[in-house]
Amino acid sequence: MSLLDLMKYRDSGELSDVTIVVEGEELKLHKFPLYIKSDYFKEVAAESGKEQVELEEFPGGAACFKVIADFCYNKKIDISLENVAQLRCGAEYLKMAGDNNLIDLTERYLDDIIRSAQMSRSLSPIVDLISRTACLGPAAEEAKIAERCFAAVMDVWTKPGRVDALVVDRLLRLPLDWFERLAKSCGSEGERQLRPLAELATRYLHRVFQRDTDLQKQQQQQKKPEKKKEQEKSAEKEKDDDDAGEEAAEEPQQEQQEAREEQQQEEAGEASDAEADGGDKKKQQQQQQQQQQQNEPKEPTGEVLDRVIGSLPEPTPLAEVISGDWIRLALLASEQYSCQCRPRLLQLAGNMLHRFRQEELKQMPSPVLCDIVSSTAAAMGGDAGASGEAQVLSGVIDNHLLDLARAGSLTAEEFAKLAASVPADYRASHDTLYEAAETLLTAGESIPDDQQKAVVEAVDLSRCEVSTLQRALDKGAFPAKVVCQAAIDLAQRQQSLQVDGKFARREDFKPTFSSSPSRRYGRNVASPSYDGIGAGYSSYREPIYGSKFDSDFDASSGLRYSALGGYSDTAAYPDTDRGARLDFQYSGASGGRYSSRKW
């Protein structure tokens, strides 16, 4: 039989001995040309001699199979960017391997497309291939078109030049399965692919977050008319009940009711006219929303978040490309859907917490912020108190509390929880924390006693500057006993500044605070260690305090106390009409004296 005969029988269907069914469409064909090109049909013939074969879930459907059937009959076919993915997957389905067979021809065409795109640094044809392959089913997996395209995409993306926004948008429309495969395929060529991957992943997830936000807005808008109707009905019912027993007011009431009904009818007519005028706009908006929903992942937000974050290689630099608003939405979603990726997101948020703008921190819910701080502190370890990272973390939280207090948007409960989320030894000082507490307590709002106590206990005044103690004494935001207790503790620490029997100047040392339990105060207090920077001091030590502590307090003369160990210290509080002040005097047993030294 000649080639012309084969082509003639393909067009006419004469002498057909097999029927191929694709998507319900029957094609009258011949076994011989199909067996020559396709191992699939050979296997079917060997298993059974049935004259009808149904191809389920054939890539590209009946239209693609017709082109492949023409190829089997030696008819000339056109391979293009539009159909090469379908033909390649269809050839994989039918097992059309061998030289100059359909797999071979389509593979060469794919190589040409990818190579040309890489040389011209154009992502458009590669992304087009990915989009067309994504809907072709299992045959696309076996053909491995996606992996070759993914590698080409990242190769072109990492080269100098601008990436077309339309091309990126098409990548963002990929099904979740394919985007996950794209993410997992990156990183094999080195870390240069990770930055563009991070940008793509964050934008892909942002579309999902935006989908949830839009859905919530729609639900709120639907509830507003219903709530308004309920309020109107309730108001009318109350008015009717009040006037039900007044016979004299029946006629005016009826007139008012009729007037209201007429007004409602007029408003309804105006609304219907406006609705008719804006009908086209609403239809356009609905079409846009439907199109946008088709381009978004169909899976729940929690599943999308887990799978995308889980597919990213560990060193992916997400912190370099995300904003505070993005991480806030991600953390809220991870909490709502109990995502497995939440610990990784908390760690990410902690690493970039110092980069958040003030507005971004204010939008972050306090419970989420507490989780971030707790997770970050746990990652730092128990010995991080003296590190710069720990002080940066505490500084961010303390300044955030101060900003919220000044804005009047901070509650005592939030203050206590956020302040306690930072480990005690992370703060080099409590001055900023005290200022936030003072602003909160003196704002004029009514705060329950137990919450006031929690705010006061969150601040360790003994780790504040003397000027802050002076301010606390003047303002009266904290109980006087708490301020005096802090003054005692501060005086004892000044007493410990002894080097070779002499008292050193405070400015000659840099204190580093560490927290240790105190039996006397029943809480953690800070004990300093000092690094000498003054001239002439080669060795120093901290004195060992005696086991006995005597103190007596007189409201008129101030606080006077003595500590064992050869020192006598006084902290004087002059009369209030001259202004309160703190004055420390030190005299040492070795003869050295520090008198009237004010800090």
Token pair 């504040």: residue: 464
In this predicted structure, the answer to whether residue 198 has a pLDDT above a threshold of 80 is yes
Dist CA 448 CA 160 (whole Å): 61
311-314 long-range contacts, CB within 8 A, separation 24+: 311/180, 311/183, 311/184, 312/183, 312/197, 312/198, 312/201, 313/186, 313/187, 313/194, 313/197
**pLDDT exceeds 90 at position 64:** yes
Q: Hey, what are 239's tokens?
A: 């008015």
Looking up tokens 């002040």 gives: 581
CB within 8 A of 297, min separation 6: which ones? 175, 176, 179, 208, 304
Domain residue limits, the chain: 191-218+299-364
Higher-pLDDT residue of 165 and 351 is 351
Residue 134's alpha-carbon distances to 15, 89, 421, in angstroms, are 38, 11, 46
- Tell me the pLDDT of the chain averaged across its residues: 75
Q: What is the pLDDT of residue 399?
A: 95
Q: What is the mean pLDDT of residues 440-457?
A: 93
Contact call for residues 589 and 566 (beta carbons, < 8 A):
yes
CA distance 573 to 468: 15
DSSP state letter for 59: T
pLDDT over 50 (residue 505): no
Alpha-carbon span 187 to 185, nearest angstrom: 7
pLDDT given for residue 279 in this prediction: 52
Of 573 and 486, which is predicted with more confidence? Answer: 486
Report how far apart, in Å, the C-alpha atoms of 365 and of each of 188, 245, 526, 580 are: 38, 52, 31, 40
- β-pairing, 523-532 with 509-518? antiparallel
Distance of alpha carbon 83 from the chain centroid: 40
Locus of tokens 């992304």: 127
* pLDDT score, position 413: 94
Band of residue 327 on the pLDDT scale cut at 50, 70, 90: very high
pLDDT band at 537; cut points 50, 70, 90: very low
> 161-167 contacts: CB < 8 A, separation 24 or more?
161/121, 163/123, 164/123, 164/124, 166/124, 167/123, 167/124, 167/127
Length of the chain equals 599
Task: Return the structure tokens found at 411.
Answer: 């509650």
pLDDT at 302: 93
Query: Which pLDDT belongs to residue 511?
Result: 44
Tracing tokens 């013939």 back to the chain, one arrives at 45
pLDDT of residue 161: 65
Mean pLDDT value across residues 403-425? 93
Phi-psi region of 109 (alpha: psi -120 to 50; beta: other; left: phi over 0): alpha
Query: For residues 198 and 195, what is the distance between their CA atoms, to the nearest angstrom?
Result: 5
Sheet of 549-554: strand order equals: 549-554, 558-563, 567-572, 583-587, 593-597
Quick one: which of 122, 213, 135 has its CA closest to 174? 135
User: Mean pLDDT lowest for which of 331-340, 407-416, 428-437, 575-584?
Assistant: 575-584
Place of tokens 């049909």: 41
| Identity at 466, one-letter amino acid code | V
Task: Give the model's confidence band at 335: pLDDT under 50 very low, under 70 low, under 90 confident, else very high.
Answer: very high
Residue 498's DSSP bridge partners are 503, 541
Q: Residue 27 pLDDT > 70, yes or no? A: yes
Selected residue with higher pLDDT from 437 and 149: 437
Q: Regarding beta strands 52-55 and 18-22, do their DSSP bridges make them parallel or antiparallel, or are they unpaired?
A: parallel
Question: Does residue 566 sit in helix, strand or coil?
Answer: coil
- Strand partners of residue 593: 587
Cα four-point dihedral sign 498, 502, 503, 504: negative
User: Is the overall model pTM greater than 0.85, yes or no?
Assistant: no
The C-alpha atoms of residue 297 and residue 302 are separated, in whole angstroms, by: 12
The two counts, helices (H) then strands (E), for the chain are 25, 12
- Give the residue among 38, 147, 43 at the shortest CA–CA distance from 102: 38
Q: Which residues contact 560 (CB under 8 A, 6 or more apart)?
A: 551, 552, 553, 554, 570, 571
Q: In this structure, how many other beta carbons lie within 10 angstroms of the beta carbon of residue 59?
A: 26
DSSP-assigned beta bridge partners for residue 131: none
Q: Residue 218 above 90 pLDDT?
A: no
- Residue 381, class by beta-carbon neighbours within 10 Å (0-12 exposed, 13-18 middle, 19+ buried)? exposed
Question: pLDDT tens, 245-303?
Answer: 554 445 555 555 665 666 666 656 655 555 555 554 454 444 444 444 444 677 889 99
Reported as a pLDDT band with limits 50, 70 and 90, residue 159 is: confident
Rounded CA separation 106/301 (Å): 38
For 181-190, 251-260, 316-325, which range has the lowest pLDDT when averaged over its residues? Answer: 251-260
Q: Are 65 and 21 in contact, with CB atoms under 8 Å apart?
A: no
